[in-house]
Amino acid sequence: MELVKNIFIKLGSLDRRIIFLLVGLSVLLPLLKPAWFALPIRPKQHSQIVFNEINKLESGNRVLLSFEYGPSTMPEIHPMSIALLNHLFVKDIKVYAVALWPDGDFMSTDAFAEVADDYGKKYGIDYVNLGYKIGGEAVIKNIASDILSLYPTDIKGKSIENIPMMKEVNNVEDFDFVFSLSAGYPGSKEWVQYATDPKGIPMSTGCTSIQVTDIVPYVENGQIRGILAGMPGAAEYEELVKTELKSRGLVIKSGEATSMMSAQSMAHVVIVIFIILGNITYYLTRNNKRKGS
């Protein structure tokens, strides 16, 4: 028994670099050998709500898509953007993109480039990218009241007057749905406060894991309809969209989030083991100190 105790106490003083290495390996191995660690993905309630809300939209409806993330949070949010655009385009929904973060422009451009051609979608008719504007909530407030005065040109500098699908919108009330792809401030919270709550427009969000606990109160209250929570949320949504496309006779390969979920799960297992070991060591050393005193 004493030997086991000593082992645990020694584990407690393990060099942090060894822990980093083990966490690193737990991430790397599933990426190198995905077949060894493949786990099933089952959509949870909140992801299902998001899917159902988008699925309820009809052909020709207008969705405002806000890109509030950059390369640093790309692994979590970008797979959501890709899956969402697949879902919207297959249903012939018109997509209007804006960015509240400077690097959101790169993300939106990349996402459209990856998906639009697969569905034969034309810029200016089926989708438009209005680009980034500085100002945070002031931009959202402006979109809620007068989008045309805020965006005289699109992301490419083309006059809004020459974009056919922009003739149908004046403010946020002209959209059937708002979707916020958010990694922080300004993001989903500000959309709720300044646009969708005051104007009564339905909204969903896909956000980083770290934001989930702050956004969930709005979801529980119905102010936001469902939430895609971090990488697991993205993987669940990818699965739902894949099934939907399959039912329409379209086959797409598994999304990026789905392929990375094994690494996520393995890393969590390693971290949980270290947390348990750390707690056991803490209690043992505390007891030893008490006995000593």
138 lies in the binding site for another protein (CB under 8 A): yes
Site for another protein in 233-272 (CB under 8 A): 256, 260, 263-264, 267-268, 271
Beta bridge pairs of residue 134 = none
Size of the site for another protein (CB under 8 A): 56
220 lies in the binding site for another protein (CB under 8 A): yes
Q: Of these, 132, 175, 177, 179, which contacts another protein (CB under 8 A)?
A: 132
CB 174 within 8 A of CB 206: no
* Residue 33 Ramachandran class (φ > 0 left, ψ -120 to 50 alpha, else beta): beta
Label residues 163-193 b or e (16+ Cβ within 10 Å = b): bebbeebebbeebbbbbbbbbbebbbbbbbe
The residue written with tokens 């996520």 in the block is 264
Provide the minimum distance between the beta carbon of 163 and another protein in the complex, in angstroms, as a whole number. 13
Q: Which amino acid is residue 228, in one-letter code? A: L
Q: Judged by CB, which is closer to another protein: 102, or 164?
A: 102
Provide the minimum distance between the beta carbon of 108 and another protein in the complex, in angstroms, as a whole number. 13
Q: Which amino acid is residue 264, in one-letter code? A: Q
Q: Judged by CB, which is closer to another protein: 15, or 117?
A: 15
Q: Judged by CB, which is closer to another protein: 88, or 229?
A: 229
Number of neighbours of residue 62 by Cβ within 10 angstroms: 16
Quick one: 93 exposed, middle or buried, by C-beta within 10 A (0-12, 13-18, 19+)? Answer: buried
Q: Judged by CB, which is closer to another protein: 89, or 226?
A: 226
Provide the minimum distance between the beta carbon of 186 and another protein in the complex, in angstroms, as a whole number. 12
End-to-end CA distance of the chain: 22
72 lies in the binding site for another protein (CB under 8 A): yes
Site for another protein in 24-43 (CB under 8 A): 24, 27-28, 31-32
Distance CA 222, CA 269 (A): 33
4 lies in the binding site for another protein (CB under 8 A): no
Q: Of these, 221, 247, 253, 292, which contacts another protein (CB under 8 A)?
A: 221
Which residues neighbour 291 within 8 Å (Cβ) at sequence distance 6 or greater?
A: none
Provide the minimum distance between the beta carbon of 45 and another protein in the complex, in angstroms, as a whole number. 13
Site string for another protein, 50-69 (x = CB under 8 A): --------------------
Which of the ranges 58-66, 83-91, 110-118, 204-212 carries the binding residues for another protein, by CB under 8 A? 204-212
Q: Which amino acid is residue 241, in one-letter code? A: V
10 lies in the binding site for another protein (CB under 8 A): no
212 lies in the binding site for another protein (CB under 8 A): yes
Distance CA 160, CA 228 (A): 32
Distance CA 234, CA 43 (A): 10
Provide the minimum distance between the beta carbon of 169 and another protein in the complex, in angstroms, as a whole number. 17
CB 172 within 8 A of CB 195: yes
Distance CA 186, CA 101 (A): 8
Interacting residues with another protein (CB under 8 A): 17, 20, 23-24, 27-28, 31-32, 72-76, 102-103, 105, 131-135, 137-138, 141, 150, 152-153, 159, 192-194, 197-198, 208-213, 217-218, 220-223, 229-232, 256, 260, 263-264, 267-268, 271
